[in-house]
Amino acid sequence: MLSRHFLRVKVLQSLYAYKLSGEVSFDLAEKELYKSISETYDLEVYLYSSLLEIKDIAENQIEEAKGKFFPTEEEMNPNMRFVENALLKQLSENIELTSAIDKLKINWTDQRELLRKILNKFKNSDSYKSYMAKETVNYEDEKKIIIQLLKNYLLKNESFLDYLSELKIYWESDFQFVGLSFLKFLKEFKQADTASKSLIKSFEFSEKDAKDFAIDLFRKAVTHYDDFDELFKKRIENWDMDRLAFIDIIIIKMGLVELVYCPEVPVRVTLNEYIEMAKEFSTDRSKLFVNGLLDKFLVDLRAAGKIRKIENEEVDVE
């Protein structure tokens, strides 16, 4: 399910790029915004595919060990528990996932050494050794070990993140959100799930809803971007927009647009969201700066009667 915070971040990135481009093409900016949202789902496919590639590497390691001149007894009769893992088997047989991987033409050839290192580090962990040493395992055990692989070894590997960020630059900011959503989805997997189970876009609440919210906010932010310059002049001594961090200006103006032109979103939700974005995307001092200015601007907007929120609206729809 795509959160409103995630979509606001997408709008922020698009508005930033649009302003830096000199406002070259609004239509193109809209298309790029929606493309960046849609391609977030491709990142999910890459995460699925990386697990299957690691499984393939583990199988190759077993075969290579068997092919040694003097294989050990253990190498001749290997423990197949991980490569025959029930969850990995479900993923490898899933019709939708197979089609998505083929469509994206995902090929890990150049990154197999990176994934091999991740696998080897994982195989040296106590959790993996314990899993492989158990006399028997149930489906929850099978799920748990794959979730640990993903959570502790793939999602925390800087080189893996760097590679994905090179494929799509905005995947760097998407990575944590998609990874956590992916983990949650895997935890909900059931042994009875078949090859026809829907896997892709597991965090989507509605592509139409996502588009409507993000595009509407983007359009309003562009249309009303200059509406609040007088507020800045009033509240900032020796006002000079050129001296303010550009990203801070965009964050604050987006927040003001949402306060005034999005009546369905509660005030406290808007304030919290844009303070959080300042913490994520700007300088260490920006959180306090954005917080302070938004509080002051809110006083001015309320005094001018420009804050009109839907009555009894207490929570943001996530």
Q: How far is CA 161 from CA 120, 167, 249, 280, in A?
A: 18, 10, 29, 17
Check residue 316 and give its pLDDT.
44
Q: Where are the domains of the chain?
A: 2-38+202-318, 39-187
Check residue 173 and give its pLDDT.
81
pTM summary value: 0.77
Q: How far is CA 248 from CA 15, 265, 283, in A?
A: 12, 21, 9
Q: How far is CA 110 from CA 51, 55, 121, 196, in A?
A: 16, 16, 19, 30
Residue ranges in the chain whose pLDDT is less than 70: 1-2, 201-208, 237-243, 311-318
Give the CATH fold of the 2-38+202-318 domain.
Answer: N-utilizing Substance Protein B Homolog; Chain A (1.10.940)
Check residue 311 and give its pLDDT.
56
